Amino acid sequence: MVLVGVDALWTLVDWAALFWFISIPLSFLACAAPVFLIQKVIHRDGFLRAFGIAGLCGGLAAVPFPVTGTIVGLSILAWGRGNR
């Protein structure tokens, strides 16, 4: 859900390509940090697994267009629901 929330913010800054040098790193950090903490603390994953998942989600959130509307976003959302 963190990826979906941060990814949805791209609809706001999509027109402001001038500020992408600020919004891309902020989007990465806004998604990767909470995902890392969720994976590490709540799911009790190891450091490398939590870091990898956080990096993947942060990278997807930092792409300068909404990813969740694509097939990649759909597969990530489906993958996240697989452990339940």
User: Which tens digits make up the pLDDT trace of 9-62?
Assistant: 666 655 667 777 888 898 899 989 999 999 999 989 899 999 998 998 888 888
Whether residue 46 is contained in a domain is answered as yes
Q: How many domains does the chain have?
A: 1
Asked if residue 4 lies in contact with residue 64, where contact means CB atoms within 8 angstroms, the answer is no
- Comparing 12 with 4, the larger pLDDT belongs to 4
User: For 43, which DSSP code?
Assistant: S
> How far apart (Å, rounded) are the C-alpha atoms in residues 35 and 51?
9
Crossing angle of helices 71-80 and 47-62, in 10° steps, is: 150
> How far apart (Å, rounded) are the C-alpha atoms in residues 29 and 35?
10
pLDDT of 83 over the 60 cut: no
Looking at 1-84, which runs of residues are DSSP E strands? Answer: none
pLDDT of 64 over the 60 cut: yes
Whether residue 44 is contained in a domain is answered as yes
Whole-angstrom distance between the N-terminal and C-terminal Cα of the chain? 15
Reported confidence tier of residue 81, pLDDT bands at 50, 70, 90: low
pTM of structure: 0.70
Q: What is the extent of the structural domain holding 53? A: 2-79
> How far apart (Å, rounded) are the C-alpha atoms in residues 63 and 70?
12
Mean pLDDT of all residues in 59-79: 71
Whether residue 84 is contained in a domain is answered as no
